[in-house]
Chain A
């Protein structure tokens, strides 16, 4: 394979090119787009969806789906808020929140593998359960979080970049290493390629699945930490419907919905593309109703183009 071909077939190449073209067009269309204020805004907007998309990307590459991430995010956030309000140290509260998110994912994985129930159904159930539990714990009330720990996460910068973006960078770095340099990641691709084959070749498919859903739950909780920092509060209705944005980011990135194919890093670019659409149309003064239409078109077009590309390769 020539170097050119390698670059051409590398999953990141095309999607990064699309994102770069979009950014260029937007910077010509509005002088405001490239200001540091707007870029910071964009980075903050993208962070929550991006972290969720990392988890979703892994799950989808394994051939699954996790609809529960936004609700798990809410339950983790509420756990943190409730504990802090009860006088618990914010760092300990954060660890408890991360634990609750991981536990939700672990339960998802356990039910999917033990009960032999489709991930769509199990995580749809968890979507209701986690959101409901968040409302039950708080009785629908939002706690205000004025701890410096969270205010720093939400409002401070490090080396000129908002703190949430470091959560995103770390997440994707770790996920990329896991997916491409660790045995666990290789097994995830194998299961996504053919679960039956993976089983015949002695991969402990059920165990790996539980680990992946637990990881997705953990990342939802990590997104919750960022969310609590940004909102300085823990409304139980937070992030409603955001799981679909995470799925959209994964798909726009070019990760195959059928599993086994794609690279999680492309989901980060997918999240950026969606954020740029929203942000770009805002600064151009176009109605937010059109944003939904456009994102819908982009999702379908992304998959269509990917299909054409696959067909051309064969």
Chain B
């Protein structure tokens, strides 16, 4: 990856404490166009907090975020979305009591003078879902009646539909069967080719190793190592996640 390109996102020296608990200490991360970065670490390593800060769900105690080289002020999810940052949460963040179009457009409903443009939303939702080759029984049924894969698809199409430049995926394949996982992985390749940057949080080292360009490992709220994925073996990555210390490499720069 050529370092002369301006990164899509640069998070610099982000710290976050919840009361007395220090969740992040000077954590940094960057992401370039068309790149998939695996964000790794234990539970409680701070990776989820870092992603929530980028998504606008948490506000950092200190540090700065740059989007396309400019300082970004992200205080809530709407700010993040305005910068083209979309998040696919592990728990999918869908309202089970609403149908697919309502979930897809939640928080940014199409409307005229406050009146919902239901037909337009329904049509656009159908298009967005079919673009990802997703079949769901009915656009009118509540999301809670759907399978994990279908719900995941709705989450993903929500992110893609609104011209995301940066997509945060929290365990995108965790709830899915093999076939559905493969679909997600194909989709990620497709998004990459369109210059979209993806931050992939996962515990599945195998997936991470195969589908990411770089990895960023966190431990105790601090960066352990950020490097090209293939600089290390899977075993070395696992060992760094557990120990929180970088594996010494004489050969690699």
Q: How many residues of A contact B (CB 8 A)?
A: 22
A189 close to chain B: CB less than 8 A: yes
Q: Is the CB of B93 within 8 A of A200?
A: yes
A210 close to chain B: CB less than 8 A: no
Q: Is the CB of B57 within 8 A of A261?
A: no
Q: A1-B140, A199-B77, A201-B77 known; A183 and B98 CB under 8 Å?
A: no
CB within 8 A of A182: which of B93, B96, B102, B116?
B116
Q: Is the CB of B106 within 8 A of A192?
A: no
A181 close to chain B: CB less than 8 A: yes
Q: Is the CB of B95 within 8 A of A198?
A: yes
Q: How many residues of B contact A (CB 8 A)?
A: 28
CB distance from B103 to the nearest CB of A (A): 8
CB distance from A158 to the nearest CB of B (A): 29
CB distance from A194 to the nearest CB of B (A): 5
A261 to B57 alpha-carbon distance, docked (Å): 26
Please report whether the interface of chain B is mostly helix, strand, loop or mixed according to DSSP: loop
B109 close to chain A: CB less than 8 A: yes
Q: Is the CB of B95 within 8 A of A190?
A: yes
Q: Is the CB of B77 within 8 A of A200?
A: yes
Residues of B within 8 A of A198 (CB): 95, 106-107
Interface members, chain B 81-139 (any A CB < 8 Å): 81, 87, 89, 93-98, 102, 106-109, 111, 114-116, 118, 138
B78 close to chain A: CB less than 8 A: yes
Q: Is the CB of A200 within 8 A of B57?
A: yes
CB distance from A9 to the nearest CB of B (A): 10
Interface members, chain A 19-43 (any B CB < 8 Å): none
Best-surrounded residue of A186, A189, A201, A260 (most CB of chain B within 10 A)? A201
Measured CB to CB, the nearest residue on chain A to B140 is: A1
A94 to B110 alpha-carbon distance, docked (Å): 37
A181 to B114 alpha-carbon distance, docked (Å): 8
B213 close to chain A: CB less than 8 A: no
A190 to B93 alpha-carbon distance, docked (Å): 11
Interface members, chain A 176-205 (any B CB < 8 Å): 181-184, 186, 189-190, 192-194, 196-203
CB distance from B58 to the nearest CB of A (A): 11
B76 close to chain A: CB less than 8 A: yes
CB distance from B233 to the nearest CB of A (A): 36
A161 to B89 alpha-carbon distance, docked (Å): 54
Q: Is the CB of B102 within 8 A of A190?
A: yes
Q: Is the CB of A197 within 8 A of B97?
A: no
Q: A181-B115, A182-B114, A183-B116 known; A202 and B108 CB under 8 Å?
A: yes
Residues of B within 8 A of A197 (CB): 93-95, 106
A314 to B78 alpha-carbon distance, docked (Å): 35
CB within 8 A of B106: which of A184, A201, A260?
A201
Starting from the known contacts A193-B96, A200-B93, 11 additional A-B residue pairs (CB-CB under 8 Å) come to: A182-B114, A182-B115, A189-B95, A189-B97, A190-B106, A192-B97, A194-B95, A196-B93, A198-B107, A202-B78, A202-B107
What are the interface flags for A193-236 relative to B under an 8 Å C-beta threshold, 1 for contact and 0 otherwise? 11011111111000000000000000000000000000000000
CB distance from A186 to the nearest CB of B (A): 6
Measured CB to CB, the nearest residue on chain A to B138 is: A1
CB within 8 A of A201: which of B107, B141, B145?
B107
